[in-house]
């Protein structure tokens, strides 16, 4: 298990237990964390699970693959720390991960 903290656009923070192997998107949906829509269900096809990875975690999490980078073109207010949370798999190394959700999902 790993703890993941989601901070929404208003600054409210929610920390949940994530199962290793699940994605950051799935973990949010399972715990009813608002701010992530995941319209396509995790197929990297819609850019509605967009998150900003906390600066302290960007290196551990790593950057997007080309396909995800393409899909990020459709997201709102893309920043250098932007990722699609359906493409971040939870690993023990991500215990404590903090992500922020944008004020809207495209």
Partner 1 sequence: MTETIKTDVVIVGAGPVGLFAVFELGLLDIRAHVVDILDRPGGQCAELYPEKPIYDIPGLPVVTGQELTDNLLEQIKPFGAQYHFSEIIAGLEKTEDDRFLLTTDAGTRFDAKVVVIAAGGGSFQPKKPPIDGVEAFEEKSVHYAVRKMDVFRGKRVLIVGGGDSALDWTLNLAPVAQRVTLMHRRDAFRAAPDSVNKMRKLVEEGVVDLALGQVTELIGEDGVLKAVKAKLVDGQTHEIATDAMLPFFGLTMKLGPIADWGLNLEENLIPVDTEKFETTTPGIFAIGDINAYPGKLKLILSGFHEAALMAQAAARRINPDRKVVFQYTTSSTSLQKKLGVA
- Contacting positions for partner 1 (CB under 8 A): 39-40, 43, 45-48, 69-70, 73-74, 76-78, 104, 106
Measured distance CA(98)–CA(4) in Å, rounded: 6
Q: In the bound complex, what is the minimum distance in angstroms from residue 49's beta carbon to partner 1?
A: 13
Q: In the bound complex, what is the minimum distance in angstroms from residue 98's beta carbon to partner 1?
A: 23
Measured distance CA(38)–CA(30) in Å, rounded: 12
Q: Between 24 and 86, whose beta carbon lies closer to partner 1?
A: 86
Q: In the bound complex, what is the minimum distance in angstroms from residue 93's beta carbon to partner 1?
A: 27
Q: Between 64 and 96, whose beta carbon lies closer to partner 1?
A: 64
Q: Between 21 and 92, whose beta carbon lies closer to partner 1?
A: 21
- Encoding tokens for residue 63? 């950057």
Q: In the bound complex, what is the minimum distance in angstroms from residue 70's beta carbon to partner 1?
A: 5
Give the Å distances, CA to CA, from 8 to 76, 90, 93. 15, 19, 23
Listing DSSP states for 53-81 in one string gives EPGGGHHHH----HHHHHHHTTSSS--TT
């Amino acid at each position: 298990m790993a703890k993941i903290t989601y901070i929404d656009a208003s600054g409210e923070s929610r920390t949940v237990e994530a199962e290793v192997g699940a994605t950051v998107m799935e973990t949010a949906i399972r715990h009813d964390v608002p701010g992530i829509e995941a319209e396509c269900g995790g197929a990297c096809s819609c850019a509605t699970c967009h998150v900003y990875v906390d600066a302290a975690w960007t290196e551990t999490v790593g950057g997007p693959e080309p396909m995800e980078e393409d899909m990020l073109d459709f997201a709102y207010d893309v920043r250098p720390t932007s990722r699609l949370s359906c493409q971040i798999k939870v690993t023990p190394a991500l215990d404590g991960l903090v992500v922020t959700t944008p004020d809207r999902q495209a």
